[in-house]
Amino acid sequence: MKNRDTRSAFDGAAFLADAGLGRKIVQLEPKETFFSQGDPANTIFYLQTGRAKLTVVSQNGKEATITLLSVGDFVGEESLASIPGLRLATASAVNSCTALKITREEMARAMHDEPAFADFFMKFMLARSMRTQADLVDQLFNSSEKRLARILLIMAEFGKPGERDTFIPPISQEILAEMIGTTRSRVSFFMNRFRALGYINYNGRIQVNKSLLNVVLLDRLPDHNSQKPLLSAAEMI
């Protein structure tokens, strides 16, 4: 009896690594956009190298960074909605990036025809949902100093399997302030404090040390209660 399907097995890694029907490899320079807020949502990107970020702009023109993206992340998944709409945010490169640009139709076909790939994508979406919830809890309940420590650890990819580069990509204190909901001067204060405590090193690039995990996991800083800098009224809200 013949096998019911004689086609070669689907290679998800190859699908996400190579160009093909409905797929194109694109190169982006720092600050170049994958797509902009308000654009038609008709493609999804898979980040192969580099770092990117998602930002939104309010009606009065204020911009805020809502998340950072690293290798292995998808971005633009709203294009898979049953009724295509417009982009709700802008995705742009933090440093030089390589990404696979996949049309909405090709992504939908792969998920429909290849259960293993659909499972892989759903696991990614679940992880992103959990990250979004963690971000919300972090914003609501943690101090700005602890939120900064968490962002630095995420950028250094602590907690992911395998060896990681503890040097984070270039990022301004203004962007870090946007992400944790405080001022640039507060970020500068906390960064200097982290460096003095040996949690980070800085020599042209920021290197994050594992000891910074103590701030997030154990809520531990030397003389934490007595030495923690006073927060402004706005930061305590």
pLDDT in tens, 96-144: 999 999 999 999 999 999 999 999 999 999 999 998 888 888 778 888 9
Domain 12-135 sits in CATH at 2.60.120.10
The correct CATH number of 143-236 out of 3.30.300.180, 1.10.10.10, 1.20.140.10, 2.60.40.10 is 1.10.10.10
Tokens of 164: 């990681």
The answer to whether the beta carbons of residues 54 and 69 sit under 8 Å apart is yes
Give one word for 153, left, alpha or beta, with left for phi > 0 and alpha for psi -120 to 50: alpha
Predicted local confidence at residue 65, as pLDDT: 83
- Write down how long the chain is: 237
Q: Is there a common fold for 12-135 and 143-236?
A: no
Specify the pTM: 0.75
Lowest mean pLDDT among 63-67, 72-76, 200-204, 229-233: 229-233
- Report which secondary-structure segment, H or E, holds 23: strand 23-28
Quick one: angle between helices 115-141 and 104-113, nearest 10?
110
**Which carries the bigger pLDDT value, residue 41 or residue 164?**
41
Predicted local confidence at residue 112, as pLDDT: 94
Question: Taking the domains of the chain in order of start, what are their residue ranges?
Answer: 12-135, 143-236
